[in-house]
Amino acid sequence: QKEVEQNSGPLSVPEGAIASLNCTYSDRGSQSFFWYRQYSGKSPELIMSIYSNGDKEDGRFTAQLNKASQYVSLLIRDSQPSDSATYLCAVVFGNEKLTFGTGTRLTIIP
Amino acid sequence: DTGVSQDPRHKITKRGQNVTFRCDPISEHNRLYWYRQTLGQGPEFLTYFQNEAQLEKSRLLSDRFSAERPKGSFSTLEIQRTEQGDSAMYLCASSLGDREAFFGQGTRLTVV
**Between the CA atoms of A44, A49, A50 and A55, what dihedral angle is there, to the nearest 10 degrees?**
-100
Coil, strand or helix at B92: strand
pLDDT value for A28: 78
**CA distance, residue A35 to nearest chain B CA (Å):** 10
pLDDT value for A103: 94
Share of chain B above pLDDT 90, in %: 88
The residues facing A54 across adjacent strands are A65
Contacting residues for A60 by C-beta, under 8 A, at least 6 apart: A76, A77, A78
pLDDT value for B1: 54
pLDDT value for B60: 76
Helical residues (DSSP H) of chain B, grouped into ranges: none
ω into A10 cis (within 30 of 0): yes
Residues in chain A predicted with pLDDT less than 50, given as ranges, are none
Nearest CA in chain B to A97: B48
Binding-face residues of A in 29-88 toward B, CB within 8 A? 31-32, 34, 36, 42-46, 49, 88
pLDDT value for A23: 96
DSSP A5: E
Nearest CA in chain A to B37: A43
User: In a 10 Å sphere around its CB, with 0-12 CB exposed, 13-18 middle and 19+ buried, how is residue B37 labelled?
Assistant: buried
